[in-house]
Structure 1
């Protein structure tokens, strides 16, 4: 179970509604009034934002929308792709192939739970041409990445659609409120104004607490899986070429070092950007 994700979502919801209920005043001090939360419950706003957003997602991605429960299970699962584990396994395969030949890897292939890794091993066991092996595995990686990006795009679409429907609900509430200004019945002004404001709240909450974290988690899983598959590709090609296992480890570790370098550059770039902004403010 991906406990970190669940804790983050629960904390976001808790602090949002705790902030709604909590008040500080000179007379009473710090108080928590749970009755205030009832003011943020509105069925009309919920139907507009949640219903409209889901409808847009389904309309844009009709086939992928049916797999939303599966995506949640993947995201909540704590199992991740460990590149170090694949490096160790490839080292073991390289040593076996060096001692006993490529045919000795068939038994190891049957023990593999990763279908891509198993396919890669069987391709060299069957004595396929190296260019053919590389072409097949590269195509598999590209197709997997394309599928992942399409799923991520679906949740990013939902993240964009939710605030838009929040704005639609705001316009609906304002229009209804203005229509009632000329009538004698002023009791509907409050509910209409509530719809106008609460839909924006629901839209922002749905986008930043539900859709954005899912897209970010799936993006991280995609990067991990693609990195591991690239390591498998290079490792399998090196094993087929009969490369020394010691040199193979150094070669595969360059993928991890490159990944760490990219992450460090991104973090340093973010720090530099913040530093420039702070200097600009001081000026």
Structure 2
């Protein structure tokens, strides 16, 4: 059995994090005072964002980008639970124990989650346990690969953004040096401004946007895989003919188990 503990849904911190980033920007602008406008440079922002997006389009296929966009909404949702799915497994086990196979199949047909539906159907079809585990573990692995690809894309964005910021810095320095001999301080100042602000944009986007979202998606994947493994354990117990009470107690233990196994 997989001894993975499925965490309960914590307070969603995404909104708090966004508010924190907004507060940081406000502090920076407030500290700049009358010169706050120097932090807004459309050309520098276009160099960083446009260059990052262009590099990403070259590095990844369109389906990866669409998959990422579809998953961003999950950042504002609470982590999923499997309370309803546990009840479904127990109910199916009860019906099977009473030899009401048709009612059990009707119950399985109403299941919405593809992973649970497939697993219950395999169990009702008396598929060997080894084959059942192979199929469902393969589904778990494919889920991990899909979601890790999304996090990898964001980490790539986090690597591209500072590099493009440095490109903007070099462009600004070249422009500044080209007019350095003329002594025109206004032109030199504009070139130096672009040179510095693009680095700020690149570092800020990488560490306040792209990398935190990547970490959040990775944590989401870990949680979802833990839940899928708990469901897998319940399906295996059903296939082995365990009683509904045994199935419920075992799954409840897996979900609620927070004991440090190292005894700290």
Higher RCO (C-alpha 8 Å, min separation 6): 2
Gaps in structure 2 of 5+ consecutive residues:
1-10
Q: Does 1:43 align with 2:42?
A: yes
**Residues 214-234 of structure 1: CA deviation (Å, up to 9, x unaligned):** 212211221121111111111
Distance across 1 between alignment mates of 2:22 and 2:165: 18
Distance across 1 between alignment mates of 2:35 and 2:187: 20
1:56: which partner in 2?
A: 55
- Secondary structure in 2 matching 1:82: coil
> Is 1:48–1:169's contact at 8 Å kept on the other side of the alignment?
yes
1:145: which partner in 2?
A: 144
2:117: which partner in 1?
A: 118
Gaps in structure 1 of 5+ consecutive residues:
24-32, 269-283
> Is 2:151–2:217's contact at 8 Å kept on the other side of the alignment?
yes
2:229: which partner in 1?
A: 230
1:173/1:133 Cα in 2 relative to 1: closer, same or farther (>3 Å)? same
**Residues 54-96 of structure 1: CA deviation (Å, up to 9, x unaligned):** 12222221231233431222323x2532144443433333233
Distance across 2 between alignment mates of 1:240 and 1:182: 82
- Secondary structure in 2 matching 1:36: helix
TM-score by length of 1: 0.79
Question: Aligned pairs, how many?
Answer: 252
> Is 2:230–2:255's contact at 8 Å kept on the other side of the alignment?
no
TM-score by length of 2: 0.84
Q: Does 1:11 align with 2:20?
A: yes
1:178/1:159 Cα in 2 relative to 1: closer, same or farther (>3 Å)? same
Compute the RMSD of aligned alpha carbons. 2.5
Distance across 1 between alignment mates of 2:129 and 2:103: 18
Distance across 1 between alignment mates of 2:116 and 2:145: 19
Tell me by how many angstroms 1:160 deviates: 1.5
2:171: which partner in 1?
A: 172
- Secondary structure in 1 matching 2:181: coil
